[in-house]
Amino acid sequence: MAGLTIWAGTSFAQIANPADAVRNESPATQPQPIEKRYRSWEYPVIQVTDTRLPTLREEGLIGAYEQPLWTATRRFPTTRVYIIPEGKMDFEYWLRTTVDKDGTTSYRSLYEVEFGLPHRFQIDIYARTDQSGNDGQIYYSEQLEIRYALADWGKLPGNPTFYLEWIRHDQREEPDQIEPKILFGGELAQSWHWGLNFVAECQTGGDLEREYQICSGLSYAVLDYKLSVGGECKAAFTDTRDDRWTFENNVFLGPSFQYRPFPQMTMNFAPLFGVTSDSPAAQIWFNAGWEF
């Protein structure tokens, strides 16, 4: 009987509790929680100690770069600001309609996918079509864009961001183009947002045409993260190899509007009007974006 008792006690002592085994595992071997992927409007606002939270939701800071929510989506059709947050991906459709003084109309459409990358990088891929008149031939092109922000938001005045774009023309008998830019943007006061770009668009061959641009935008948030109104200005000065420093001057000025029917959807509209003798009568910009 005593032997049986000793055998039973030994046997029960050797039975392991599965819960004890899990508790004894090192943290590296235990299952790790899956990190939630936020879309831009779903980010919790970053709370900074001893700093009053913004009144507007769209001015709350989000993401790895602690940028305002309004910068996570394009605010101006003609003017870029900063970069999109890491991990963000969206699709945008563009339509730019140019109306000459003689009534001739040309169209440019862009189909764009944007990717927010780590370390303050962003890459965009475009398919592009150009058409002169309603019955003109449609020409196809591709564009590739990369951006790099020099610092997290608010660390440098104007939040400078470098931008480089390559434009490849498949069908038109035109040389490719390289387009470097430097982007600035920020907040003047609550509800007031601005952007400023300096651009050089250069042909890689042919007439070696160069177009220098200054693009700017100012907007006011009428309804938080829903409706903004403002204005934009685009000035372009173009010369060629045979007439270097003799510029054709195109300056456009007009209102701009942003509307969000859904949190993941943005619509921008800017009817700009030519104000110099070289300018077309109008250049009308529309774009719509959807975040995935």
Q: Alpha-carbon distance 199 to 25, whole Å? A: 57
Task: Tell me, rounded to whole angstroms, the distance of Cα 73 from its chain centroid.
Answer: 6
Task: Tell me, rounded to whole angstroms, the distance of Cα 241 from its chain centroid.
Answer: 33
Q: Is residue 32 part of a domain?
A: no
Q: Is residue 1 part of a domain?
A: no
CATH number at residue 94: 2.40.160.40
User: Is residue 14 pLDDT above 50, yes or no?
Assistant: no
Scanning the chain, the segments in alpha helix (DSSP H) are 2-14, 18-24
Confidence of residue 36 (pLDDT cuts 50, 70, 90): confident
What single-letter DSSP state applies at residue 266? Answer: E
Structural domain total, the chain:
1
DSSP reduced 3-state for 161? strand
Q: Is residue 283 part of a domain?
A: yes
pLDDT above 90 covers a percentage of the chain that reads: 78
What single-letter DSSP state applies at residue 22? Answer: H
Confidence (pLDDT) at 215: 98
User: Is residue 58 pLDDT above 90, yes or no?
Assistant: yes
* Measured distance between the N- and C-terminal CA atoms of the chain, rounded to whole angstroms: 72
pLDDT digits (tens, 9 = 90+) for 83-140: 999 999 999 999 999 999 999 999 999 999 999 999 999 999 999 999 998 889 999 9
Confidence (pLDDT) at 246: 95
Q: Is residue 191 part of a domain?
A: yes
Q: Identify the domain containing residue 186 by its residue range.
A: 40-291
Q: Is residue 27 part of a domain?
A: no
Task: Tell me, rounded to whole angstroms, the distance of Cα 176 from its chain centroid.
Answer: 23
User: Is residue 261 pLDDT above 60, yes or no?
Assistant: yes
The answer to whether the beta carbons of residues 136 and 123 sit under 8 Å apart is no
Radius of gyration of the chain (CA): 27
User: Is residue 47 pLDDT above 90, yes or no?
Assistant: no
Q: Give the residue among 221, 252, 218, 257 at the shortest CA–CA distance from 235.
A: 252
Confidence (pLDDT) at 19: 44
Q: Give the residue among 78, 81, 135 at the shortest CA–CA distance from 70.
A: 81
**Better-predicted residue by pLDDT, 105 or 5:** 105
Q: Is residue 6 part of a domain?
A: no
pLDDT digits (tens, 9 = 90+) for 132-165: 988 899 999 999 999 999 999 999 999 999 999 9
What single-letter DSSP state applies at residue 85? Answer: P
Confidence (pLDDT) at 46: 74
